[in-house]
Amino acid sequence: MGSKEIKVTFETITPLYTGDAWQESKEIRPSSLIGSLRFWFEIICYFGGVCSEGEFDKEKGRFEKDIKNDEIKRELLKCGPDFGGQIEALKELKVPLPAVIFGTTGWKSLIEIKSIRYLDDYCFGNKLNLQNKFCISKNESREIKEGNECPKKGSDNNWSVFYFKIPYFWGKFEVVFRVPEEIKETIFFPLLNFMNKYGYLGGGWNIGYGRLRINRIEIDEVEVSDWRKDKFDFSEFGKNENIYIKCNNSQENKSELIECITDKGALKGKDLKKIKHWKYSEGNLSVRDMLRNLIIEKANLRKSLNDRKERHYVFGKTGNVSQEDLPQGSKILPYINRLDNSTYECGLLSIAGILNLY
């Protein structure tokens, strides 16, 4: 099984936060990037029908199955040590596909990060001059306050409080991935294309953090021009499903991962295994103002869901709580995508369909 070193250059569209155990963001942590890639790959596999509810480990919050060293060794003796034999051995052990790709106890991830390098005028700080808090009143006036103007925690329950994580990374950085040749075109490039269009890296997704743009991909110092693959091909893993990264306004085509919607209220529904995408164009606002406006849109949508338990399931709890474990956080995410130097797409992205796993 030969691996390729693939150099990917990312640029922030919104802040990248990869906080450590002390909630400090002083470096881009490889584990945070790999964890985000795994999360979105699990969404893709689940919504695309490649994984079933029965393969989901509710305690760990992911598609997982631990295997023992002697189990995998026994199966490898039967199936062979090459890539095809390894995959066949894992299939025999009924290891879910996300755990095959990203590892489990007894099996190493197929996708690894060799190095991370910061480029140009990067910074860990507050490039966008965000206030640490952003508050929206729960009454009809929907008054807005920021920073120290917000009520102190616990002093006034009539406000929804959102915390911006500061410092964060802003700028460009380069990641060198190690990826088996066998999954480069069928899994890895489609996953990068999905992340470029719709995915989030790091933490703080509930406030719109983590949207990144891929500027360049290289293999052996040569730029790759055809990495924007719109189809996941799982046939190497004995799966017949092909999943397409397309935005369609129909619920019927199960192979298309994204459902574009015009009714913002449809984002709240968890009955459909689709990523629901509501968007509009934005030209002149700063990223700071776009984030602010999208949080207001999300807060208004949250207010329209009367059932308290359902509201917490779909939107998470407001306040200073960790959002890295996304299943416990918001399933509706502020979305910003940069089309060129001055034009942006904005909107909200819903993955509420994952609630069916719980």
Residues 143 and 48 in one domain: no
Q: Give the N- to C-terminal CA distance of the chain in Å, as an integer.
A: 36
Tell me, what's the pLDDT at 321?
47
Instruction: Label residue 131 by pLDDT band (50, 70, 90).
Output: very high
Q: In angstroms, rounded to a whole number, what is the distance separating the alpha carbons of residues 191 and 105?
A: 23
- The tens digit of pLDDT for each residue in 149-183 reads 998 776 667 888 888 999 999 999 999 999 999 99
Name the pairing type of β-strands 133-137 and 344-350: unpaired
Tell me, what's the pLDDT at 357?
87
Mean pLDDT of 228-234: 94
Closest-CA residue to 273 (of 354, 187, 171, 157): 354
Residues facing residue 213 across a β-bridge = 11
- CA 324 from centroid of its chain's CA atoms: 10
Which of 112, 141, 163 is the C-terminal boundary of a domain?
A: 163
Residues 248 and 286 in one domain: yes
**Is residue 327's pLDDT more than 60?**
no
- Domain span at residue 265 reads 3-130+166-357
Other beta carbons within 10 Å of 119: 13
**Is residue 27's pLDDT more than 50?**
yes
Which of 145, 163, 181 is the C-terminal boundary of a domain?
A: 163
CA distances in angstroms from 198 to 41, 288, 345, listed in the order given: 12, 19, 11
Mean pLDDT of 30-40: 96
Q: What are phi and psi of 308, to 5 degrees?
A: -60, -45
**Is residue 203's pLDDT more than 50?**
yes
**Is residue 1's pLDDT more than 90?**
no
**Is residue 356's pLDDT more than 70?**
yes
- The tens digit of pLDDT for each residue in 272-313 reads 789 999 998 777 889 999 999 999 999 889 888 887 778 878
Q: In angstroms, rounded to a whole number, what is the distance separating the alpha carbons of residues 82 and 340?
A: 44
Residues 195 and 304 in one domain: yes
Q: How many domains does the chain have?
A: 2
Tell me, what's the pLDDT at 159?
86
Other beta carbons within 10 Å of 311: 16
- The predicted model scores a pTM of 0.93
Residues 274 and 141 in one domain: no
CA distances in angstroms from 328 to 133, 296, 311, 315, 353, listed in the order given: 21, 21, 12, 9, 14
Q: In angstroms, rounded to a whole number, what is the distance separating the alpha carbons of residues 244 and 358?
A: 26
Instruction: Label residue 189 by pLDDT band (50, 70, 90).
Output: very high
Q: In angstroms, rounded to a whole number, what is the distance separating the alpha carbons of residues 313 and 152?
A: 25
